[in-house]
A and B are shown apart, each in its own frame.
Chain A
Amino acid sequence: MNDVDEVRRMLAPVLAGDTGPRHSPEEVLTSARKAVAQRRAVAGVLSVGVVLAIGASVLFAVTDRSTVESASGPVLTTTPTDVPPAPTTPGHAAELTARLAAADVVPDGFEIHPVVSERNEPPLRFSAHGPDTSGGYLASAVFSDAEGSVTLALYVRSATAPENCTVESGCVRFTAMNGPFFDQPAVKSVDGVEVEVARDLRTGLPGRVSAEARFPDGTVVEVTVTNQTTVMDHGSPYTRPTTRDSVPFTERQLVDLVTKPGFGYLP
């Protein structure tokens, strides 16, 4: 048996569940035509925006208006309607980092490392998250002890920010290929915080635990701990399961992480 036959024989079982494309060729064509039309429309709007921006900058330069005044100028009228309620700022990111440190809610007994060691980004330090300002702030870290490592990601974002993770949004999800295999998560409420526990399909132990708190001011704080780490291969990140049996943190520790620091999306 040659290598091609061997690999095809190996991979065949994973394709057994293929139910075929969800969309007919005609539906794909309709989507494609619509996407092209939208792309042209956006390009047109952006062109108008650039023209207005140039015009506005000239106008403001001539009238010597302040930056604050220029923010209410005509350029804003051409921006997309799904802009976030407020832009992220390095200053507020630093404030969130300080709040996390002061709250004393980070679990003890672990070595804390950056998620991707090659990038040497400090662990548990908030920074703007996502390709635009709608993503809010993210602080992440790998927690290690003798049993293994887990990855923690802590988000502070607006409730109005888009949550969908799509190809178009450029968001990366943990999938079966780049993450562990989990069962459907069990969801419950702990002191008003939604806690989800997803168990590893193989071990039956918690492989990913998350807690999400929604506050009256529109802030959403979410922490997710996953039993895996990120490593780089030829410049591409990928995730690998760790040696640990399950996520080590308690639900209470995660609830405290999202509630006690008093995070706010807005400065």
Chain B
Amino acid sequence: MKDKDAEFVEFVRAKHRHVRRTAFLLCADWHLAEDLAQATLLKLYRSWSRVRRADSVDAYWRTVLVRTVIDHRRPLKGSEKPVAEPPDLPADEVEHESGIDVQRALAALPPGQRAAVVLRYWEDQSVSQVAKVLACSEGTVKSQCAKGLAALRRELGSTLDKGGVA
């Protein structure tokens, strides 16, 4: 059996980009996504013995990532601090109007709907898998997905019709 570090490096090589992209869809900020992906990978490394025993490593990292994103938002109660810097959104990362439209549409979704849509449709997870990751009922997932998808269609319908989203 490979040692822990070698296995972990192999996992990072294979999944880091995917983890980072999913993190971005959940937070829409590349720099924050990098931090969240990094934090997720560190947590996985700490629990690597459990990760390697998991039925699905992908399900495991998705769960850890979503919890990391949620934990990052939760301290708002006592420590919300609008930074003096602009949001981490370099212009070259949203240079296309369609990209901005999509980000705005995503931004308009409540976190629960956004996470459900990203996991269900972007990650192509089943309703039961999403329910497990989000620790909610399958009915809630279906409801959140339906509302989120309807909102995206409402916001982006005209863009799609115009061929603005390739």
Contacts and interface: CB of A to CB of B under 8 A. Distances in A.
A229 interface: no
Given A4-B124, A21-B20, A167-B35, A153 B99 contact: no
Nearest to B93: A17
Q: For the complex, would chain A's binding face be called helix, strand, loop or mixed by DSSP majority?
A: mixed
A43 interface: no
Contact of A175 (B29, B113, B121, B124): B29
Contacts of B51: none
A171 B35 CA distance: 13
Contacts of B121: 3-4, 6-8
A178 interface: yes
A33 to B, nearest CB: 8
B75 A234 contact: no
Contacts of B108: 240
30 contacts: A4-B121, A9-B166, A10-B102, A13-B102, A14-B28, A16-B99, A21-B20, A21-B34, A39-B46, A119-B77, A129-B79, A130-B81, A138-B80, A153-B81, A155-B81, A167-B72, A171-B75, A171-B81, A176-B87, A176-B88, A176-B107, A177-B103, A181-B87, A181-B94, A181-B103, A224-B84, A230-B76, A236-B70, A236-B73, A236-B111
A29 B39 CA distance: 12
Interface stretch (A50-58, A182-190, A257-265): A182-190
B57 interface: no
Contacts of A128: 78
B38 A31 contact: yes
A48 interface: no
A175 B16 contact: no
Nearest to A16: B99
A13 B165 contact: yes
Interface string B53-97: 000000000000000101111111111111111111110111110
Interface string B34-46: 1111110110011
Interface of B: 5, 8-10, 12-13, 16-17, 20-21, 24-30, 32, 34-39, 41-42, 45-46, 68, 70-90, 92-96, 98-100, 102-108, 110-114, 117, 121-122, 124, 149, 152, 156, 160, 165-166
Nearest to A240: B108
Q: For the complex, would chain B's binding face be called helix, strand, loop or mixed by DSSP majority?
A: helix
Contacts, number: 231
Nearest to B98: A13
Interface residues of A, number: 77
Contacts of B27: 175, 177-178
Contacts of B87: 173-176, 179, 181-182
B54 to A, nearest CB: 18
Interface string A107-134: 0000000000001000000001111000
Contact of B100 (A135, A140, A165, A201): A201
B103 A14 contact: yes
Most buried by A among B17, B76, B93, B152: B76
Given A10-B152, A32-B41, A176-B29, 15 more contacts: A4-B124, A11-B122, A13-B99, A14-B99, A15-B24, A20-B17, A22-B34, A25-B9, A128-B78, A175-B29, A175-B87, A185-B85, A208-B82, A237-B80, A238-B111
A233 B77 CA distance: 14
For the complex of A and B, the 3 pairs showing the least CB-CB separation, nearest first, are A17-B93, A177-B28, A7-B121
A18 B29 contact: no
